[in-house]
Structure 1
Amino acid sequence: MPSTPPIFSSYAAFSAFISSDTELSLYRTFHALSSRNLLYLQSSLLGLENRLKELDEEDLKGLNINNFFSAKCWETFSDRAKEHPREAERMELIMMIKKQIKEYHEALLLQSEVLKFSKPSKRVFRVFQGWFESEKPFVGYGNELLQQRDDFVALKPSPDQDFLARFLQDLGGRCLLGTRHTTSKEVKYYSSTLVSRLATIVTVLAASLVIEGAIVALYIVQNQHVRLGLIALFTSIFAASLAVMTDGRRTDIILATAACAAVLVVFVSQSSGVGPRTTS
């Protein structure tokens, strides 16, 4: 028996939508609140640190045998803290520092991990935003979820971030075969593997066409000065196509461009012969 779709959007519908595709796992980091929390913890620790310094300075001014051993022996200090108000205050202060510095360091580590998350792509956020605004799953403050666009992170961002892959992903929503979401027909699912293969095919074809076009042009043109200009032109086109259509590192693009230029130079040298031409 087929499941009945919900008659209204809610937390259940929104969670079902998010779980329908891992790319839709977008959440706010509340970066401003996290930063404010760190500042509060930091200020609190500054106050505790300052009070501990004051106690240390007071001990130096009124140094006696009890203060001396309390400063050097934890057991002595711990025993005196049970009976003497001054040591008791210091012990309470130390326990507060121990607790708050642990909380502060944990908050720092968590914040550093959160900052490593990637921002969602424009395509994914557009789908996310379109569903949220059309279905309106929340009321109250929850309805203001999307007001901080830059505060969202993607738990699993799209693997392909180059221009060609993004273009094909945008095009896929209109041209590729896929399935529609059960509640929102504006959302379409299609194979990411297919998009990746299409990007690979287009990239390989474009690179090969640039090299083939260069060879044909260099074969037709015999003027050496023009040939040098064509080598520079087609090498630049080859490098630009790699930069646009792949997410390769700069060193990889430079090496591939150098290899392309070397192939064209070898072709020119072999087709024109070595040394000056002579006529009889």
Structure 2
Amino acid sequence: MEDQEDLMEGYPKLAALMGKYPILSIYRRFSVLNSRNLLYLQAELIALEDKLKEYTLEDIQSADEKILRHARNWQFLGHAPVGNPSCAQWHTMLAIRDKLKEYNECLLQQRQLATFSRPDPGNLEFLENWLRHPKFGKQALSGPDRNVWIDGKDLLVVAPDSINDSFSRLMRKRVLELYHHIFGSQFRAPSDTENEFYFYDEKTVLRLADIIGTIISALLPVVSVVVLYCVKNMRVRLGLVAVFTVLFSLVLSLIAPAKRVEVFAATAAFTSVQVVFLGSITN
């Protein structure tokens, strides 16, 4: 008997994939629609606010002693007889309260949506290929939403990316692909036999990226010292100091997710070391 999972298709099969692998839980952010909804709610609130000001002014200018108390005593404002013109201010306030709650909730949701990460390009590419593959997605969706991932616009991913620097992402994308094509696919069985997926421990990739980054960071000062020692022309030496300084700052920005001020401080220290060494070999 054929497995039940093999019989699934369309939304159920795509949902099963995303549920099993959160890094593939990629959805539309609907930024434009959310912004438009907030603009409409804002416009409604402004209109209600103008009405409230109008009714408040009418109550203040009223000749009725009870209505005059609306500004000072909520009992008179909140318990005005239904249908009485004097209750317009309070009923408008109640309408504002409901609309304001809706507006604030949408505003907070919009802010929360803005914190979601964009999907990793490699994961998005994988999902697109899975959807097209006749063995897996089988053109899973046929409605207007079928091109959400192919368009690749306005997307978010539920699972945040644990890698937050460009060098580690490069390692994960390029180096891991190279390793997989040369060794992984030859000597390793698929981690997911149903979908023929190969999964690698991300911690290992991060550890490898840290090791390589540390080696590069350690070698760069040594290389700069050796080159400056070998070059005799002072003008060329000064030019090399500038080149190594720029190269050091670029490497630091790519390898370490440091703040701008930290990169500046490290670069300044590196430049000082080069200048001191240059002065020592000149003398």
TM-score relative to the length of structure 1: 0.82
CA distance in 1, matches of 2:235, 2:42: 68
Check 1:66–1:8 CA distance in 2 against 1; reply closer, same or farther (3 A cut): closer
Displacement of 1:17 in angstroms is 1.6
Q: Which residue does 1:86 correspond to in 2?
A: 85
Cα gap change, 1:205 to 1:158, in 2 (>3 Å):
same
Change in Cα spacing, 1:8 to 1:89, as seen in structure 2 (3 Å) is same
Aligned to 2:166: 163
Letter of the structure 2 residue corresponding to residue 85 of structure 1: N
Instruction: Establish whether residue 262 from structure 1 lines up as the match of residue 272 from structure 2.
Output: yes
- Does structure 1 retain, via aligned residues, the 8 Å contact 2:59–2:86? no
Alignment of structure 1 residues 135-154 onto 2, 5 Å: 135=137, 136-146=139-149, 149-154=152-157
Paired with 1:174 and 1:81, the residues of 2 have a C-alpha distance of 78
One-letter amino acid of the counterpart of residue 131, structure 1: W
- Counting only pairs closer than 5 Å after superposition, residues 29-178 of structure 1 correspond to structure 2 as 29-82=29-82, 85-134=84-133, 135=137, 136-146=139-149, 149-171=152-174, 172-176=176-180, 177=184
Q: Distance in 2 between matches of 1:21 and 1:145?
A: 18
Q: Judge which range, 18-27 or 112-121, deviates more.
A: 18-27
Counterparts in 2 of 1:7 and 1:88: CA distance versus 1, 3 Å:
same
| Alignment-derived partner of residue 247 in structure 2 | 237
Distance 2:8 2:210 in 1: 42
Which letter does structure 2 place at the counterpart of 1:121? D
How far 1:34 moved relative to its partner? 1.5
> Does residue 221 in structure 1 map to residue 234 in structure 2?
no
Q: Quick one: distance in 2 between partners of 1:18 and 1:154?
A: 10
Percent of counterpart pairs with the same letter? 28
Q: Deviations over 1:73-124 (max 9, x none)?
A: 1112333324x62134443322222111111111111111111222222222
Residues 199-231 of structure 1 deviation map (CA, whole Å, 9 limit, x = unaligned): 112212222332222222233334444433333
**Backbone CA RMSD of aligned residues:** 2.8
2:164 and 2:6 map into 1 onto residues whose CA distance is 35
1:164-203 equivalences in 2 (<5 Å): 164-171=167-174, 172-176=176-180, 177=184, 179-185=190-196, 187-203=197-213
Secondary structure of residue in 1 paired with 2:265: helix
Unmatched 5+ stretches in structure 2: none
Equivalent-residue separation in structure 2 for 1:213 and 1:45 (angstroms): 65
Q: Which 4+ stretches in 1 moved above 6 angstroms?
A: none
How far residue 35 of structure 1 moved from its aligned partner, in angstroms, is 1.8
Tell me by how many angstroms 1:196 deviates: 1.0
Amino acid at match of 1:118: S
Match of 1:276 in 2: none
CA distance in 2, matches of 1:48, 1:235: 60
Amino acid at match of 2:50: N
Residues 61 and 68, structure 2, Cα contact 8 Å, conserved in 1: no
Which residue in the other structure is 2:261 paired with?
251
Query: Aligned pairs, how many?
Result: 270
Structure with larger Rg: 1
CA contact (8 A) 1:121 1:157 kept: no
Q: Output the TM-score relative to the length of structure 2.
A: 0.81
Q: Which runs of 5+ in 1 are unaligned?
A: 274-280
Tell me the secondary structure at the aligned position of residue 153 of structure 1.
strand
Partner SS state of residue 27, structure 2: strand
